[in-house]
Amino acid sequence: MGELGHTFSLFFFVGAGNSSALGAGAAPARCPGTERWGGWPSPVGLTLGILAAFAAQVLVIVYHYARLRWTSTRRVQLQFRPYDFLEGAKSHLSNPGGILMMVGYLCVSWMLDIMPCSYYSFQDGVRWWMVFAQITCQDFLMFLLHYFEHKGPLGAGFYKVSHKPHHRFVNPRLFDAFDGSVPDTFCMILVPLALTAQLLHANVWEYMLFGSLWSAWLCLIHSEVHHPWDGAFRILGLGTAADHHVHHRTFIFNYGHTMTWWDRLAGTYKHPEEVRHFNKSRATMKLGGSNYKVPDHTFESE
């Protein structure tokens, strides 16, 4: 971790130095052909990216509301957890250790000019393989750091101040996705984001799509109800809400998020059907919203 910290410090030092020199009137030292605002990178791409990610979050919230309000759904876990939808949405969008911290990272990494030059380019279109490669790389790095938080050499003390606050949600709802501590967000989200950007040189359009799809997916796997596409995702080894609920309930399985491949290779994957607290019934019910009345009966395990 010391070497990694030194690398991050070097990135920020070089970025700050470049910006200072450019502000003094020096010619742009890097990324020729990209738009500059004086000595700084143009914030247009940054702004569009943040707006795209925000739009994706709004779509997720609207989808989740419609699904709970008007459709028949099947809960992931047996235990019911009613809540006020508006409160959930507000806490989701304003949590300082979640979305706000990620927006801060995007602004700093972009404006200090430490991203690879390709990210500042609007040239060419979207290479979908690159978008998928970014999601895959991000999830693999998150898997490693997630496992490190649980069982790394820094021990229980580091786990308590980093990832344990997120594990108070043993039966999570969609809005708990980014409700974690600042150290947890830094270690498990921002470090993989920074490394993925350095490893895969995408353009700005691909970066926008990656950020929007990945952040939306991270919310959807925390959903308290199953999604219509979960069956297909399970076949492909892609992460579902039930897969991630296994981790929240057991703590020692399913460290991956958007993919289950790494857990299957590492022997840490557990099928949701094997967890005692999970809803194994195929029956669905219309909840009528998030703040629903708990019925007199609950689904029983088969």
Q: What is the pLDDT of residue 41?
A: 95
What is the sign of the dihedral through the CA atoms of 52, 104, 92 and 224? positive
Whether residue 169 contacts residue 176, with contact meaning beta carbons closer than 8 Å, is answered with: yes
| Residue 17 belongs to a domain | no
- Token pair, residue 27, equals 């010619």
Span 9-21, pLDDT tens digits: 444 444 444 444 4
CA separation (Å) from 284 to 71, 73, 173, 185, 300? 9, 5, 18, 34, 13
Span 73-102, pLDDT tens digits: 999 999 999 999 999 999 999 998 899 999
| Residue 219 belongs to a domain | yes
| Residue 264 belongs to a domain | yes
| Residue 296 belongs to a domain | no
| Residue 177 belongs to a domain | yes
- pLDDT tier at 197 (50, 70, 90 boundaries)? very high
The structural domain count of the chain equals: 1
- How many helices and strands, by DSSP H and E, does the chain display? 12, 4
Q: Which residues pair with 225 in a beta bridge?
A: 75
Q: Give the three-class secondary structure for 73.
A: strand
Strands in the chain per DSSP E: 36-37, 40-41, 72-73, 285-286
| Residue 292 belongs to a domain | no
Does the pLDDT of residue 301 top 90, yes or no? Answer: no
Euclidean distance between CA atoms 248 and 169, whole angstroms: 7
Q: Which domain holds residue 204?
A: 43-286
296 vs 271, more confident? 271
Mean pLDDT of all residues belonging to the chain: 89
Span 27-49, pLDDT tens digits: 445 888 889 998 899 999 999 99
Span 157-175, pLDDT tens digits: 889 999 999 999 999 999 9
| Residue 49 belongs to a domain | yes
What is the value of pTM for the model shown?
0.87
**For the residues of 150-194, what is the DSSP string, one character each?**
HHSTTHHHHHHHTTGGGGG-SS--GGGTT---HHHHIIIIIHHHH
Place of tokens 């790095």: 141
Q: What is the mean pLDDT of residues 238-243?
A: 98
Whether residue 144 contacts residue 223, with contact meaning beta carbons closer than 8 Å, is answered with: no
Whether residue 116 contacts residue 203, with contact meaning beta carbons closer than 8 Å, is answered with: no
Q: What is the mean pLDDT of residues 184-212?
A: 97
| Residue 137 belongs to a domain | yes
